[in-house]
């Protein structure tokens, strides 16, 4: 929506020209005073008052992006949709007391500054500012666009709000805020309100819980319940606040204060825990890695490009290699790209150097310099290289190693060369295994360094394993000593073995195994989570050597840990949202296989001909229901694929839709 439409909505079209001529945009709007309005030609007191009230109702400072998104998102009619959301509620501390103390116009400016700070941070994390309620802000993560890490985004955004707002002084007022976050299933439903404040209703306990947690949070803290805590694992450090009784919520809620991001570098370890179950299958991949290692360690360096969809087990294989190498003599270097640092040059290398040097929070620069020098001693760097590496870690130049005055381009080249020499220095002591994780989030400068590394590695005792998802296009394919491994889904035998392993080696009832095998489509992460869900569901009774099922087996709900990533897939495939129903023969069931396998770009293409059998693996024609936002594949028989699960779990299917399948 633009300002013009907003004025029309208020019945003030007569001021459109005045607003335009005076270049009043969404940024300026919340800052307008009564005096400003008079100056641009709003001469009556009544109109000025109405405009000021409308600006406040709009959220005082809703930025164009947030307002625009809210409105455009709300303008498409759609059916109610169940989905997992992480909801954040943040509020300014002491605003009532403030309103009694300062002039109302100053107060509006204070709240305006607070709102724009929050909105700006939300834009960075793709949070959706749903509503400004007084000075509070309600934000959704996971709607309208889901991400696999919505809970993490919300917590990071919360910490950043606390930090940034805590440094704000407006009209000599120092601001502070509190943040409550909660995750759960909601129904995103009908449009409510009208005009500028129109938005979708979100029904469920989650927003209420977030608001209650916000209210109990100490100033400048972020508080989360177990539902969110579960999804963010060890990515953050927490303070256990015990269980609290909250109004409107039946049972006491265990809550945590989030202190800060943790120093755990590996998302794999932070989210999946460090106690690994035994590797299932993957014999060929392990053989290849061991063969490459055998060549690499004698100086015939090797690069293995390991690609696969999320959850297929790339990190698990890299970890398995480390287990297999056991007591062999080698140095293990691990680099991690991060979705939050894709614009931060050399982030994985900086983070690795800091970790290897043992930097602790709050170390003064001199101590860090000392630690860096000790850690780099192993690679015996030149003084000049040390200066570039210290500078890379934002440490001040020392007298012994001053930093030469160079152009940014030259400085970058010298820094890359210093990093390369550091690796080469290490290889003189021991062969290296370098695991470079999640290259799909790499920053451009790190990619340049990888180009150098892949080129140089051929004559070094180094095995480089690069993991990435299929949307990353490596440029090193076909270069000497570069092998490519595209991970496939686990076969039926391995799916069963993995499920049994997660059940602690105890046999599971046949129908339970069937459901796990059929619904998870061979993705180990899905198998793990669904099996755990089954075990926690209370449907199974544990005996000495097996689990038994006492009654009939219902379809177990998709675990919350999978909601976000499955929904993110659905949202990426914008047209695939709602499940339609199919009649079709002998209780044909709808299979949203295409969702899990990557849907075709064009709706028409799939609708006009059978979907390529190789891709879907069944040769069953894809169906397309005219007027429906979904294509699907139907087949008779039992079982349902992960895609159906994806849609269900994602909550794309409301109860009414589900009944029709």
Name the site residues for Mg ion (rule: CB under 5 A): 268, 314-315
Q: Is 315 in the site for ligand ATP (CB under 6 A)?
A: yes
Count of Cβ atoms closer than 10 Å to residue 97 Cβ: 9
When binding is defined by CB under 6 A, the residue of 1, 113, 270, 312 that contacts ligand ATP is 312
Question: Residue 131, interface with ligand ATP (CB under 6 A)?
Answer: no
Smaller CB separation from ligand ATP, 385 or 564: 564
Per DSSP bridges, beta strands 177-192 and 81-92 are antiparallel
Choose among ligand ATP, Mg ion, none what residue 282 binds, the Cβ cut-off being 5 to 8 Å by kind: ligand ATP
Residue 166 to residues 2, 177, 211, 378: CA-CA distances in angstroms? 32, 7, 20, 42
Q: Which does 127 bind (CB under 5 to 8 A by kind): ligand ATP, Mg ion, none?
A: none
Task: Please tell me whether residue 233 binds ligand ATP under the rule CB under 6 A.
Answer: no
Residue 81, token pair as written in the block: 């949709």
142 binds, among Mg ion, ligand ATP, none (CB under 5 to 8 A by kind): none
User: How many chain residues touch ligand ATP (CB under 6 A)?
Assistant: 21
Q: What is the secondary structure of 180-247 as a DSSP string? A: EEEEEEEEEEEEES-GGG-EEEEESHHHHHHHHHHHHSPTT-EEEEHHHHHHHGGGEEEEEEEEE--T
User: Is-contact 642 523, C-beta < 8 A?
Assistant: yes
Given the DSSP bridges, would you call strands 128-133 and 136-141 parallel, antiparallel or unpaired? antiparallel
What mask, x for binding ligand ATP by CB under 6 A, covers residues 476 to 505?
----------------------x-------
Cα separation of 641 and 558, whole Å?
A: 12
Residue 572 Cβ vs ligand ATP, minimum distance, rounded to whole Å: 15
> Under a CB-based contact definition with an 8 Å cutoff, are residues 141 and 86 in contact?
yes
Q: Rule CB under 6 A: is residue 589 a binding residue for ligand ATP?
A: no
- Of 558, 476, 571, which is closest to residue 523 (Cα–Cα)? 558
Task: From 272-280, 422-430, 601-609, 611-619, give the range in contact with ligand ATP by CB under 6 A.
Answer: 272-280
335 binds ligand ATP (CB under 6 A): no
* Contact status: 56 vs ligand ATP (CB under 6 A): no
Contact between 368 and ligand ATP per CB under 6 A: no
Give the residue with the Cβ less far from ligand ATP, 315 or 427.
315
Q: Which does 313 bind (CB under 5 to 8 A by kind): Mg ion, ligand ATP, none?
A: ligand ATP
Residues 5-24 that bind ligand ATP (CB under 6 A): none
Question: CB atoms < 10 A from the CB of 521, how many?
Answer: 21
When CB distances are held under 5 to 8 angstroms depending on the partner's kind, the choice from ligand ATP, Mg ion, none that residue 419 binds is none
Q: Which residue is nearest to ligand ATP (CB)?
A: 313
The CA distance from 512 to 527, in Å, is 12
Of 270, 471, 202, 445, the C-alpha closest to 346 is 445
Task: Assess whether the previous peptide bond of 144 is cis (omega < 30° from 0).
Answer: yes
Q: How far is the CB of 450 from Mg ion (least distance, A)?
A: 17
> What's the Cα-to-Cα distance from 560 to each of 4, 65, 72, 139, rounded to whole Å?
43, 30, 29, 20
528 binds, among ligand ATP, Mg ion, none (CB under 5 to 8 A by kind): ligand ATP
Among the residue ranges 48-56, 248-256, 313-321, 504-512, the one whose residues contact ligand ATP (CB under 6 A):
313-321
Considering the complex, state which of residue 370 and residue 471 has its C-beta at the smaller distance from ligand ATP: 471
Which one of 115, 212, 272, 489 is in contact with ligand ATP (CB under 6 A)?
272
Q: Which stretch binds ligand ATP (CB under 6 A): 160-168, 256-264, 268-276, 512-520?
A: 268-276
* In the complex, least distance from residue 428 CB atom to ligand ATP, rounded to whole angstroms: 32
CA distances (Å), origin 361, targets 21, 364, 367? 52, 9, 11
- Helix and strand numbers (H, E) in the chain are 27, 20
For 556, the 3-state DSSP assignment is coil
HEC profile for 483-499? EEEECCCCCHHHHHHHH
Query: Per rule CB under 6 A, is residue 531 in the interface with ligand ATP?
Result: no
308 lines the binding site for ligand ATP (CB under 6 A): yes
DSSP codes, 125-138: HT-EEEEEETTEEE
Distances (CA, A) of 630 to 496, 592, 596, 623, 625: 31, 9, 14, 9, 7
Comparison of 91 and 148: residue with beta carbon closer to ligand ATP: 148
Considering the complex, what minimum distance in angstroms separates the CB of residue 150 from Mg ion? 18
Helices (H), 326-443: 347-357, 365-376, 383-392, 408-427
The verdict on 281 binding ligand ATP (CB under 6 A) reads yes
Q: How far is Cα 41 from Cα 27, in angstroms, rounded to an integer?
A: 20
User: Which residue minimizes CB distance to Mg ion?
Assistant: 315
Instruction: Please tell me the distance from the alpha carbon of residue 179 to that of residue 559, in angstroms, as a whole number.
Output: 26
Q: Which of 282, 368, 495, 593 binds ligand ATP (CB under 6 A)?
A: 282
Phi-psi region of 273 (alpha: psi -120 to 50; beta: other; left: phi over 0): left
Q: Which is nearer to ligand ATP, 161 or 464 (CB)?
A: 464
Which of these ranges, 99-107, 303-311, 338-346, 404-412, lies near ligand ATP under the rule CB under 6 A?
303-311
Structure tokens at 214: 């916000």
Strand blocks (E) in 469-602? 482-486, 540-542, 547-549, 589-591
Least distance in angstroms from the C-beta of 469 to ligand ATP: 5
Least distance CB 535 / Mg ion (angstroms): 24
Residue 311 binds ligand ATP, judged by CB under 6 A: yes
Query: Which of 351, 342, 353, 337 has its CA nearest to residue 436?
Result: 337
Rule CB under 6 A: choose which of 212, 314, 341, 589 binds ligand ATP: 314
DSSP state of 341: G
Instruction: Tell me: does residue 276 bind ligand ATP (CB under 6 A).
Output: yes
- Give yes or no for residue 268 binding ligand ATP (CB under 6 A): yes
* Per CB under 6 A, 522 contacts ligand ATP: no
Residue range at the interface with ligand ATP (CB under 6 A); choices 219-227, 312-320, 377-385, 652-660: 312-320
Q: Given the complex with ligand ATP, which of 156 and 316 has the nearer CB atom?
A: 316
Interface residue with ligand ATP, options 316, 334, 481, 519 (CB under 6 A): 316
Q: How far is the CB of 277 from ligand ATP (least distance, A)?
A: 5
Q: Which residues contact 597 (CB under 8 A, 6 or more apart)?
A: 615, 616, 643
Binding residues for ligand ATP, rule: CB under 6 A, are 268, 272, 276-277, 279-282, 308, 310-316, 469, 498, 524-525, 528
């Amino acid at each position: 929506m633009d300002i013009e439409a907003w004025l029309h909505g208020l019945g003030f079209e007569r001021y459109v020209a005045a607003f335009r001529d005076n270049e009043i945009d969404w940024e300026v709007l919340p800052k307008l005073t009564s005096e400003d309005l008079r100056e641009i030609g709003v001469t009556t007191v009544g109109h000025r008052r109405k405009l000021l009230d409308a600006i406040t109702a709009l959220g005082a400072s809703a930025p164009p992006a947030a307002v625009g998104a809210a409105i455009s998102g709300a303008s498409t009619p759609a059916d109610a949709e169940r989905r997992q959301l992480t909801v954040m509620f943040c509020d300014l501390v002491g605003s009532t007391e403030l309103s009694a103390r300062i002039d109302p116009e100053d107060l509006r400016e204070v709240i305006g500054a607070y709102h724009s700070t929050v909105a700006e941070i939300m834009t960075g994390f793709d949070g959706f500012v749903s509503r400004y309620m007084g000075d509070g802000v309600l934000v959704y993560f996971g709607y309208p666009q889901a991400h696999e890490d919505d809970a993490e985004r919300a917590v990071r955004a919360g910490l950043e709000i606390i930090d940034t707002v805590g440094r704000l002084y407006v009209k000599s007022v120092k601001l502070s805020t509190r943040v409550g976050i909660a995750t759960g299933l909601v129904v995103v439903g009908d449009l409510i309100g009208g005009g500028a404040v129109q938005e979708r209703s979100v029904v469920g306990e989650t927003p209420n819980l977030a608001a209650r947690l916000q209210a109990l949070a100490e100033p400048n803290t972020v508080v989360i319940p177990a539902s969110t805590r579960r999804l963010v694992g060890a990515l953050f450090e927490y303070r256990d606040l015990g269980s609290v009784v909250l109004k409107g919520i039946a049972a006491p809620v265990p809550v945590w204060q989030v202190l800060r991001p943790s120093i755990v570098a590996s998302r794999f370890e932070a989210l999946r825990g460090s106690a690994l179950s035994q590797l299932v299958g993957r014999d060929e991949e392990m053989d290849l890695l061991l063969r490459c290692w055998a060549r690499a360690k004698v100086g015939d360096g090797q690069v293995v490009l390991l690609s696969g969809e999320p959850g297929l087990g790339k990190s698990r294989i890299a970890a398995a290699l480390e287990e297999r190498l056991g007591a062999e003599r080698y140095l293990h270097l691990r680099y991690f790209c991060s979705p939050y640092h894709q614009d931060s040059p050399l982030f994985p290398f900086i983070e690795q150097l800091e970790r290897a040097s043992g930097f602790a929070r709050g170390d003064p620069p001199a101590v860090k310099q000392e630690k860096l020098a000790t850690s780099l001693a192993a690679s015996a760097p030149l003084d000049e290289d040390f200066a570039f590496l210290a500078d890379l870690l934002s440490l001040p130049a020392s007298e012994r190693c001053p930093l030469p005055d160079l152009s940014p381009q030259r400085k970058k080249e010298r820094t890359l060369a210093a990093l390369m020499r550091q690796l080469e220095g290490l290889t003189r002591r021991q062969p290296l295994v370098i695991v470079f994780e999640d290259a799909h989030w790499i920053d451009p400068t790190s990619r340049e360094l990888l180009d150098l590394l892949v080129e140089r590695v051929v004559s070094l005792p180094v095995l480089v394993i690069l993991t990435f998802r299929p949307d990353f296009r490596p440029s090193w394919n076909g270069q000497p000593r570069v092998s490519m491994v595209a991970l496939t889904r686990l076969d039926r035998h391995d799916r069963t073995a993995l499920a049994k392993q997660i059940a602690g080696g105890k046999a599971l009832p046949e129908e339970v195994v069937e459901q796990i095998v059929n619904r998870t489509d061979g993705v180990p992460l899905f198998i793990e989570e669904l099996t755990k869900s089954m075990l926690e569901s209370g449907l199974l009774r544990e005996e000495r050597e097996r689990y038994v099922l006492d009654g009939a087996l219902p379809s177990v709900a998709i675990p919350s840990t999978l909601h976000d990533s499955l929904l993110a897939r659905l949202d990426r495939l914008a047209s695939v949202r709602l499940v339609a129903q199919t009649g079709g023969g002998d209780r044909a069931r709808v299979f949203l296989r295409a969702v899990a396998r990557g849907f075709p770009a064009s709706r028409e293409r799939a609708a006009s001909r059978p979907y390529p059998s190789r891709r879907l693996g069944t040769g069953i024609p894809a169906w397309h229901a005219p007027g429906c936002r979904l294509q699907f594949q139907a087949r008779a028989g039992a079982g349902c694929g992960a895609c159906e699960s994806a849609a269900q779990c994602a909550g794309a299917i409301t109860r009414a839709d589900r009944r029709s399948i």
